[in-house]
Amino acid sequence: MKRSFIEVGSESHFPIQNLPYGVFRPRSGGTPRIGVAIGDFVLDLAVVDDAGHFSGTAVAGKGVFHQSSLNAFMALGRTIWRDVRAQIQHLLSEDEPTLRDITTLRNAALLHQSDVELLLPVQIGDYTDFYASKEHATNVGIMFRGKENALMPNWTHLPVGYHGRASSIVLSGTDVRRPQGQMKPADATAPLFGPCRQLDFELEMGWLIGPGNKLGQPISVEHAEEHIFGLVLVNDWSARDIQAWEYQPLGPFLAKNFTTSMSPWVIPLEALEPFRTDGPKQDPEPLPYLRMPGAGTFDIHLEVYLQGEGMEMAQRISASNFRYLYWSMAQQIAHHTVGGCNLRPGDLLASGTISGSEKETRGSLMELAWRGAEPLHLENGEQRVWLEDGDQVTMTGWCQGEGYRIGFGEVTGRVLPAFE
Ligand code: CA
């Protein structure tokens, strides 16, 4: 097994097999730049480039790592990403002396994670949110329309999605303001205005687009993964009462556009390859433009934790898996572009809530508490039906290898009272 000269525990999210990209600023000062996580450290790629250690790759001396976003690097494509990743892996490996033994370079290039401030890693131009979990779509359908009409007739034929809002995507750790809006409770004769009463989280994963496509030129399902730079954790906060009143006929609007949180480290698709697996069997067989050869998903274990103000510790309330999703990333990209829509470097596509078939695998509070019918019991005696002010929701995930983990770090956020 490949090892780094930097000590990395077997449960660390960031071994040498992972090497996720992020944007950071040293707390000691300086401009934002690009780094990769390794154990408890960050390797400053701008310093590595300045020292000439990317010579032989197409990025050498181009300044792509001296930037406040990953967009320029993401636009370069898989061949260059692979070269850069191989060189970083080489520089960090246990038997390579360059970084390990040259103290000045090592001290300049390797910063402890506590000595850096992580920033939103991507300038996101467009954000698209899908609805790719059959279990989630079925659960929501049962709650809103009853068992007979749970799944809409289109659902098994195309990956349902909508265009979301990029401006309100925030980095993990940012507080989330409870939204206000219109809602119409079942017993009310007229809509009322006020703070959302049914605030929820959604356990999702997002993937960031590298090279895009030209307007009018679809991306085929076979080539779709070449456009994926990497994956992040996403919490797509949702206002269920606002959504229930506003969503017809054009879909969610204020219910989803107030905040979406994402994790700071972007996990390269290449790091996930050992965990590639088949998704659920698709029945009926999709139309030809959505038929995907080979295994199209990854075995990524996912967890959700809740900590209320009165709780000493966060409590795990859900455990799901990325592989439960019915539609693959490639199918979602193919569908997104088949009408000619162009994707651009830095676009974020998210999966929709990831629920499995068991109750404890449900990826939203609405499903866990069944829209209030089955309150969630917390260890300190409290209950939850919806999120309360002060609640902190944390999502994490990893692929479990033999003696190592490809981790995603976490995405966390705390609910603040509505704006007065
Ligand atoms: Ca969503």
In tens, the pLDDT along 374-384 reads 999 999 999 99
pLDDT of 288? 98
Q: How far is the CA of 170 from the centre of ligand 1 (A)?
A: 15
Distance 107 CA to ligand 1 centre (A): 42
Q: What is the distance in A from the centroid of ligand 1 to the CA of 133?
A: 11
Distance 208 CA to ligand 1 centre (A): 16
- Boundary-marking domain end, from 62, 89, 119: 119
* Cα separations in angstroms, 340 against 58, 212, 216, 225, 236: 30, 12, 4, 18, 26
Distance 131 CA to ligand 1 centre (A): 7
Per-residue confidence band for 293, with pLDDT thresholds at 50, 70 and 90: confident
Mean pLDDT of the chain: 97
**Looking at residues 55-80, what average pLDDT do you find?**
97
The answer on 214 and 140 residing in a single domain is yes
Cα(201)–Cα(306) distance, integer angstroms:
10
Alpha helices in 180-326 (DSSP H): 240-246, 254-257, 269-272
* Domain limits for position 77: 21-119
CA distance 393 to 315: 10
Q: Is the pLDDT of residue 205 over 90?
A: yes
Separation of 167 CA from ligand 1 center, angstroms? 15
Question: Quick one: pLDDT at residue 144?
Answer: 84
Q: Are 66 and 136 members of one domain?
A: no
Q: What are the catalytic residues? A: 136
Q: What is the model's pTM?
A: 0.98
Tell me, yes or no, whether 149 and 115 share the same domain. no
Asked if pLDDT for residue 152 goes beyond 90, the answer is yes
Q: Could you read off the pLDDT of 351-405 as tens digits, one per residue?
A: 999 999 999 999 999 999 999 999 999 999 999 999 999 999 999 999 999 999 9
Q: CATH number, domain at 26?
A: 2.30.30.230
The rounded distance, in Å, linking the Cα atoms of 357 and 355 is 7
Could you give the residue ranges of the DSSP H alpha helices within 222-359?
240-246, 254-257, 269-272, 329-337
266 pLDDT exceeds 90?
A: yes
Q: How many domains, in total, are found in the chain? A: 2
Same domain, yes or no: 36 and 53? yes
CA of residue 272 to ligand 1 center, whole Å? 23
Give the CATH number of the domain where residue 366 resides. Answer: 3.90.850.10
Judged by DSSP in three states, 319 sits in strand
Is residue 10 in some structural domain?
no
277 near 298, Cβ under 8 Å?
Answer: yes
Give the model's confidence band at 314: pLDDT under 50 very low, under 70 low, under 90 confident, else very high.
Answer: very high
